[in-house]
Amino acid sequence: MKDIFNRRQRFSLRKYSFGVASVLLGTATLCCSYCTG
């Protein structure tokens, strides 16, 4: 039971970090296009 919980936690953490990276990338792209435009 504990192993399944650990695995799920690790997966959610990876998904969360991926989402944060995606948001950061989108914000950086928006800033760049706004500054140059």
- Domain segments of the chain as ranges: 1-36
- Report CA dihedral (8, 13, 19, 22) to the nearest 10 degrees: -130
Per-residue confidence band for 37, with pLDDT thresholds at 50, 70 and 90: confident
- Higher pLDDT residue, 32 or 37? 32
Asked whether the predicted pLDDT for residue 27 surpasses 90, the reply is: yes
pTM of the model: 0.55
Encoded amino acid at 10, one letter: R
C-alpha to C-alpha distance for 19 and 15, rounded to whole angstroms? 6
2-17: pLDDT as tens digits: 787 777 777 788 888 8
